[in-house]
Structure 1
């Protein structure tokens, strides 16, 4: 069985591969699978975007490929209390340009300028979907924290250097990959997904 991750983000693919390494699965990104399909993330919820990506990519596969392939898709974003849940589904393009991490972080800091520590609560949210033949699993994962007043740490990507994790007592930018994976929103969503798979009587687990 193979899983195609609905992404070309090397960081994301690497995280998911690490989390799945104990299972006998071939894990591929879109480029590895030879798929050149850019799904527009135009839904108004994380789960809506995640499902749309998984469905369009699965439907793009040949009938033969669908027999032994699952498509794993997620939509992840940052929800800041003081900004009424923003940037939310626009997290990757908050500054107006997709995946401009530096620009997104600058805008977030500007929007929160003058707001004290106790008002900077935030959470990372991941909605995750796994689609296959007669398989449709949808789960969420969350991690709580707050937004720092400046970048802290060189690790991770996206908003990681600004997100102080309550679980770790440090920013995701300061955390090792193993530390982040142990508490991360994507990790928790994936754990929930794997629990669902293991209890799927039709599949008999892994």
Structure 2
């Protein structure tokens, strides 16, 4: 029987991305489930100062509430000309949460006068895995709700002057990956998995996920 792994998200694309990474890494015995598939519980505010802190807040909260191993990510765009912002505020850059079009419009407005050679940016993702009752082992440390591990992935690039592409979400239409002539929103799912910040963080988590799968 597969071990249920709670993914602290209601974003179906994130669950699909994790499933693709598990398949690519040959990890079997794990069934990812989203927040919509478990009883509702109070979600703690993401008030950490870093992506890693926010990912741990979500993963610990999910593990504590459900008793399931919980994986959470926190990610965003860091822009050099904005001193690393929007950063952890990426999803709510306009003040409300998850309005991608408004966030993109605000970012473009803030960078109107910034020349192309100073539009450097990077997507950053931190992934946290909390395993209730798990013992600290390869990669895991002991936390308040069980064994835990945090990994990070970084995807360098720059901010375009206008949105391109219909795929992805968030700031993908404005992000030109380093060495690419296509925006992140113009990449296929497989291409994005291979290069993206979240894909890199999830692949770094693969050894811990294998340990988890062995418990299934």
Contact 2:75 2:125 in 1 (8 A): yes
Residue 180 to residue 43, structure 1, CA distance change in 2 (3 Å)? same
Q: Does residue 161 in structure 1 map to residue 173 in structure 2? A: yes
The 5-angstrom pairing of residues 44-83 of structure 1 reads 44-61=49-66, 66=67, 69-83=68-82
The 5-angstrom pairing of residues 73-152 of structure 1 reads 73-132=72-131, 133-134=133-134, 135-152=147-164
Give the CA deviation at 1:58: 0.9
Q: Does residue 29 in structure 1 map to residue 34 in structure 2? A: yes
Q: Where do 5+ consecutive residues of structure 2 fail to align?
A: 135-146
After superposition, the C-alpha distances for 1:29-69 in whole angstroms (9 at most, x for unaligned) are 011123343331111111111101111111112xxxx3xx3
Tell me the TM-score normalized by structure 1: 0.90
Write the distance in 1 (CA, Å) between the matches of 2:165 and 2:214. Answer: 42
Match of 1:38 in 2: 43
Point out 4+ residue stretches in structure 1 off by more than 6 angstroms.
Answer: none
Write the distance in 1 (CA, Å) between the matches of 2:130 and 2:32. Answer: 14
Write the distance in 1 (CA, Å) between the matches of 2:166 and 2:4. Answer: 33
Contact 1:148 1:164 in 2 (8 A): yes
Residue 46 to residue 15, structure 1, CA distance change in 2 (3 Å)? same
Tell me the TM-score normalized by structure 2: 0.86
| Number of aligned residues | 198
Q: Where do 5+ consecutive residues of structure 1 fail to align?
A: none
- C-alpha RMSD over aligned residues: 1.8
Residue 168 to residue 32, structure 1, CA distance change in 2 (3 Å)? farther
Return the structure number with greater relative CO, CA threshold 8 A, min gap 6: 2
Moved more, 34-43 or 175-184: 34-43
